[in-house]
């Protein structure tokens, strides 16, 4: 099978000292852009809501503001690194709108419009892969050759780093763990299956089950409201069960968990996950695998743009 894109290795390569990249993180709810330097330092940040009818329009509007601020500051970025929610078609640089979070059927070009708008070379990669590179370069996974990166936000995604290499799979989808089936008797997921990890534990699933947005459900659970407590208990149990399965499948040395919904719950989410791994992972060594929060938080997907550009833009 020919590979249209270069493999991504860990530890990730660095941009030459002093150089910068325009970084963008296109999510289902928000777009964020910034200028990132070779050390992962972030400047000129902008953010906006993602228009589900025109996600690339939202991306370009936000990116222009960062590009203008960078130009005013005298920066000459070497390229644009776009992290976007999957599934992506990396061979043509496009978002597949069959994504359960941005419904539709067509391919939406990203690389071409961003190159046209900026006049710079563009690299596109799945948001969780870019975040994993960020954590590997500057965050919790520095020096670790085998780790899982999971993000729990509006949706759930992930990346698998195995033997110093980011796994891609045959179609660039390796590590897309959101549609890992946890409970086939569970609620219907947007992908057509039932009881996926995402529909049970992501912000979108928590909101659907709780009848209000995920933050409000979390607050209600903290106040002891029984229905909200039940929704979050189910979410945390689903996450813990999926994590045991992933640890068993990939034998990581470390699990890094990012995303706004994970951060909002903190140890209420990670505590049961750690306990499940400690009790149920297969093999004595696997039961001691650390499960830690992302060190870069929401910035992982922006910071990772620098090593992504270093890996894909340099010959
Ligand atoms: Zn699903």
Residues 6+ apart with CB under 8 A from 202: 152, 153, 154, 155, 156, 178, 261
Q: How many angstroms separate the Cα of 23 from the Cα of each of 66, 205, 223?
A: 9, 29, 39
Ranges of the chain with pLDDT below 70: 1-4, 98-105
CA of 203 to the centre of ligand 1 (A): 14
Q: What's the whole-number average pLDDT of the chain? A: 93
Q: Give residue 177 CA to ligand 1 midpoint distance, Å.
A: 9
Three-state SS at 105? coil
Distance 225 CA to ligand 1 centre (A): 27
Q: Look at residue 245 and give its three-state secondary structure.
A: helix
CB-count burial class (<10 Å; 0-12, 13-18, 19+) for 19: middle
CA–centroid distance, 156 to ligand 1, in Å, is 10
- Distance (angstroms) between ligand 1 centre and the Cα of 301 equals 23
Specify the pLDDT at position 91: 83
pTM (2 d.p.): 0.94
Interval between CA 94 and ligand 1 midpoint (Å): 21
How many beta carbons lie within 10 A of that of residue 231, not counting itself?
24
Using the mean position of ligand 1's atoms as its centre, give its distance from the Cα of residue 192 in Å: 6
Half-sphere exposure of 40 (CA within 13 A, CB side): 22
Task: Identify the pLDDT of residue 105.
Answer: 66
Residues in the chain: 315
Stretch (H or E) spanning 198: helix 197-201
194 CA to centre of ligand 1 in angstroms: 7
Q: Which two tokens stand for residue 68?
A: 């203008």
Q: Report CA(120)–ligand 1 centroid distance (Å).
A: 36
Q: Look up residue 176 and give its two tokens.
A: 């897309």
CA of 187 to the centre of ligand 1 (A): 10
- pLDDT on residue 92: 85
Ligand 1 centroid vs 103 CA: distance in angstroms? 13
Query: 302: which 2 tokens?
Result: 């922006």
Distance 181 CA to ligand 1 centre (A): 7
Distance (Å) of CA 90 to CA 118, 159, 242: 19, 16, 27
Q: Ligand 1 centre and the CA of 197: distance in Å?
A: 7
| pLDDT of res. 100 | 57
Gap from CA of 257 to ligand 1 centroid (Å): 20
Residues 6+ apart with CB under 8 A from 73: 35, 43, 44
* Of residues 161, 97, 105, the one with CA closest to residue 132: 161
Q: How far is the CA of 201 from the centre of ligand 1 (A)?
A: 11
What is the whole-number distance in angstroms between the Cα of residue 100 and the centre of ligand 1?
Answer: 8
């Amino acid at each position: 099978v020919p590979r249209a894109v270069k493999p991504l290795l860990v530890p990730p390569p660095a941009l030459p000292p002093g150089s910068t990249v325009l970084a963008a993180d296109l999510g289902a709810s928000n777009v964020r852009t910034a200028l990132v330097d070779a050390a992962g330092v972030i400047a000129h940040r902008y953010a906006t809501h993602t228009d589900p009818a025109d996600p690339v329009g939202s991306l370009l509007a936000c990116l222009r503001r960062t590009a203008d601020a960078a130009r005013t500051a005298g920066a000459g970025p070497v390229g644009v690194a776009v992290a976007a929610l999957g599934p992506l078609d990396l061979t043509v640089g496009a978002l597949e709108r069959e994504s359960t979070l941005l419904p539709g059927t067509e391919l939406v070009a990203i690389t071409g419009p961003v190159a046209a708008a900026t006049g710079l070379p563009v690299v596109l990669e799945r948001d969780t892969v870019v975040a994993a590179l960020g954590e590997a370069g500057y965050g919790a996974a520095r020096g670790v050759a085998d780790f899982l990166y999971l993000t729990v936000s509006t949706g759930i995604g992930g990346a698998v780093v195995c033997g110093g290499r980011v796994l891609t799979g045959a179609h660039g989808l390796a590590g897309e763990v959101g549609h890992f089936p946890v409970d086939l008797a569970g609620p219907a997921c947007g992908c057509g299956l039932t009881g996926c990890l995402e529909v049970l534990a992501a912000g979108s699933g928590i909101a659907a089950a709780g009848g209000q947005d995920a933050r409000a459900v979390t607050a209600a659970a903290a106040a002891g409201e029984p229905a909200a407590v039940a929704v979050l208990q189910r979410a945390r149990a689903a996450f813990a069960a999926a994590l045991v399965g992933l640890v068993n499948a990939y034998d990581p040395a470390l699990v890094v968990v990012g995303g706004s919904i994970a951060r909002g719950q903190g140890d209420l989410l990670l505590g049961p996950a750690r306990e499940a791994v400690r009790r149920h992972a297969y093999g004595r060594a696997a039961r001691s695998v650390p499960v830690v929060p992302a060190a870069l938080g929401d910035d992982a997907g922006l910071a990772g743009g620098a090593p992504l550009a270093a890996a894909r833009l340099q010959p």
